[in-house]
Amino acid sequence: MKLNTKIKIAGVEFKNPVMTASGTFGSGMEYSEFTDLNRLGAVVTKGVANVPWEGNPTPRVCETYGGMLNAIGLQNPGLDVFIERDIPFLKKFDTKIIVNVCGRSIADYVEVVEGLSDQPVDMLEINVSCPNVSHGGIAFGQNPDCLFEITKEIKAKAKQPIIMKLSPNVTDITEMAKAAEAAGADAISLINTITGMKIDIHRRKFALANRTGGLSGPAIKPVAVRMVYQAANAVKLPIIGMGGIATADDAIEFMLAGATAVAVGMMNFVNPYATGEIVSGIEDYMRRYDIRNISDIIGAVTD
């Protein structure tokens, strides 16, 4: 049986639905020693701003039960270095390139989006959901009116299709998904990390210098699956689902809930071969259940 693992988002065709989650895979270079990037549907880069960002003080990461907290604070080299170094590296591979964009103001985001307009980049993922920076980031992603406004501004300037990355730190995810759709987003991705905190009881100190951080990993997966399901039922936009994906089974679960594609985040740190294994595991699942087109399982969950 010929397996068709291709999926399409906003006119862009991906060889399979497996992507990397922003910030957990650098710009692909570090993990290319472990995983053949040619096998991935797309590499989603670490957030890129208009200028270099220093990020937060350390400790920036800590382990939690079945997951981790991070407060990296979007350290990145800025657009110029990214264009000079990271895009040419990624172009060597037969995979799609999705650039994650961050900013402190709408103007910052627009500057990056415009700076990328003539670059060989397939899509842009707009991070309006980072819990670890004091200005911008999540502020745009927690209020539907702000999300609408920024989405509209960016969509007007962007040459590539845009994915709005949504925060789970909201009361009603469907409201946010609808705001992004109404403003013209081409797709949405979710979930970003869930704001959390850890305290070292022996030292009576916060585990992270930033006090709070974003929770990711298997611990958040059920929340993520639920939100993908709710969003999928509220809007027509394609969804890239993520949050704790470790195996092909997890990936399939997100797709059944309504995700067109999936992204692997923290679990790259635990199993640097995870993305490639998930690609193979999805094919095994298709053979086992006689599925010719992977797109047939999108949103196929029933009561």
- The answer to whether residue 212 forms part of the interface with another protein (CB under 8 A) is no
Q: Which two tokens stand for residue 209?
A: 């210098």
Residue count (the chain): 303
DSSP for 93-118? SSSEEEEEE--SSHHHHHHHHHHTTT
Q: Who's near 189: CB < 8 A, 6+ residues apart? A: 125, 163, 164, 165, 166, 239, 240, 241, 242, 263
Map the footprint of another protein across residues 88-147, applying CB under 8 A: none
User: Which lies closer to ligand FMN via its Cβ, residue 74 or residue 252?
Assistant: 74
- The answer to whether residue 236 forms part of the interface with another protein (CB under 8 A) is no
Q: Which of 62, 102, 130, 146 is catalytic?
A: 130
CB 62 within 8 Å of CB 196: no
User: How is residue 254 annotated by DSSP?
Assistant: H
The count of other CB atoms within 10 Å of the CB of residue 105 is 14
CB 257 within 8 Å of CB 264: no
- The answer to whether residue 266 forms part of the interface with another protein (CB under 8 A) is yes
User: How is residue 293 annotated by DSSP?
Assistant: B
User: Which lies closer to another protein via its Cβ, residue 132 or residue 167?
Assistant: 132
Q: Considering CB distances under 5 to 8 angstroms, the limit depending on partner class, which of another protein, ligand FMN, none binds residue 140?
A: none
Q: Which two tokens stand for residue 217?
A: 């990993």
Q: 67 has which bridge partners?
A: 64
Location of structure tokens 């270099």: 52
Map the footprint of another protein across residues 4-43, applying CB under 8 A: 23-26, 30-31, 33-34
- The answer to whether residue 50 forms part of the interface with ligand FMN (CB under 6 A) is no
Whether 130 is a known active-site residue: answer yes
Map the footprint of ligand FMN across residues 73-112, applying CB under 6 A: 74, 100
Contact residues: ligand FMN, CB under 6 A: 21-24, 46-47, 70, 72, 74, 100, 127, 130, 165, 192-193, 216-217, 220, 242-245, 264-267
Contact residues: another protein, CB under 8 A: 23-26, 30-31, 33-34, 46, 52-55, 58-63, 65-68, 70, 72, 75-78, 81, 217-218, 266-273
Which residues are marked as active site?
130
